[in-house]
Chain A
Amino acid sequence: MKPARKQRLILITLMLIGASIATAFALKSFNENLMYFFSTTDVVDGKAPKDALFRLGGMVIKGTVERPNDGMMVRFKLTDFSKEVTVEYTGILPDLFREGQGIVAHGKLNDKGVFIAEEVLAKHDENYMPPEVKSSLKNQSAPATNPK
Chain B
Amino acid sequence: MFLIPDPVVRFFHRMASPPHFYALTEKLMPWLVVIFVLLTAAGLYGGLYLAPSDYQQGDSYRIIYIHVPSAWMSLFIYIVMAVAGGIGLIWRIKLAEVVAISSAPIGASFTFIALVTGSLWGKPMWGTWWVWDARLTSELILLFLYLGVIGLYGAIDDKRVASKAIAILALVGVVNIPIIHYSVEWWNTLHQGPTVTKMDKPSIHITMLVPLLLMALSFKVYYIIAMLQRARVELLQRERNAQWVKLLLSEDAS
List residues of chain A with CB under 8 Å of any chain B CB.
1, 5-6, 8-9, 12, 15-16, 19-20, 23, 27, 31, 34-39, 57, 93-96, 101, 104, 119-134
Given A15-B171, A36-B131, A128-B205; A5-B193 close (CB under 8 Å)? no
CB <8 Å contact, A5 and B171: no
**Which of B121-129, B151-159, B225-233 is found at the contact surface with chain A?**
B121-129
Answer whether residue B116 sits at the interface, using C-beta atoms and an 8 A cutoff. no
Contact A120 B204 (CB under 8 A): no
Kindly identify which residue among B90, B190, B192, B203 contacts A121, using a CB–CB cutoff of 8 Å: B190
Q: Are A127 and B195 within 8 A (Cβ)?
A: yes
Chain B positions near chain A (C-beta within 8 angstroms):
2, 52-57, 61, 64, 86, 89-91, 124-128, 131-134, 168, 171-172, 174-175, 179, 186-190, 192-195, 203-205, 207-208
Q: Is the CB of A34 within 8 A of B124?
A: no
Residues of B within 8 A of A23 (CB): 175, 179
A122 contacts across to B, CB distance below 8 A: 125-127
How far, in whole Å, are A124 and B58 apart by their CA atoms in the complex?
Answer: 13
Q: Is there an interface contact between A36 and B86, defined as CB atoms closer than 8 Å?
A: no
Chain A residues lying within 8 Å of B2, measured Cβ to Cβ, are: 1, 6
Across chains A and B, the number of contacting residue pairs, with CB separation under 8 Å, is 119
* B190 x A104 contact (CB < 8 A): yes
Distance (Å) between the CB of B181 and the closest chain A CB? 14
What is the minimal beta-carbon distance from A54 to any residue of chain B, in angstroms?
A: 12
Given contacts A16-B174, A23-B179, contact A127 B203 (CB under 8 A): yes
- Asked if B86 and A121 make an inter-chain contact with CB atoms under 8 angstroms apart, the answer reads no
A55: min CB distance to chain B, Å: 9
A33 to B166, CA, bound (A): 31
Is A121 in contact with B128, judged by CB distance below 8 angstroms?
A: yes
A17 to chain B, nearest CB (A): 10
Partner of B171, one of A1, A12, A101: A12
A15 vs B53: C-alpha distance in the bound complex, in angstroms?
47
Question: Does the CB pair B171–A36 fall under 8 Å?
Answer: no
Q: Which residues of B contact A93 (CB under 8 A)?
A: 127
Residues of chain A lying within 8 A (CB to CB) of residue B208 = 128-130
Contact partners of B195 in chain A: CB under 8 A: 126-128
B188 and A94 within 8 A (CB): no
Residues A128 and B192 in contact, CB atoms below 8 Å apart:
no
B192 proximity list for chain A (CB < 8 A): 123-126
Q: Which listed residue (B55, B132, B172, B187) contacts A129, Cβ 8 A?
A: B55
For A134, list chain B residues within 8 Å (CB). Answer: 55
Min Cβ gap B61→A in Å is 6
Given A9-B90, A39-B188, A130-B55; A121-B194 close (CB under 8 Å): no
Q: How far is the CB of A124 from chain B (nearest CB, A)?
A: 6
CA–CA, A35 and B184, complex, Å? 10
A40 to B57, alpha carbons, bound, how many Å?
Answer: 26
Instruction: List residues of chain B with CB within 8 A of the CB of A129.
Output: 54-55, 204-205, 208
- Residue of chain A at shortest CB distance from B138: A34
Whether A35 and B188, one on each chain, are in contact in the complex, defined by CB atoms closer than 8 angstroms, is: yes
- Across the interface, which residues of B come within 8 angstroms of A27, CB to CB? 179
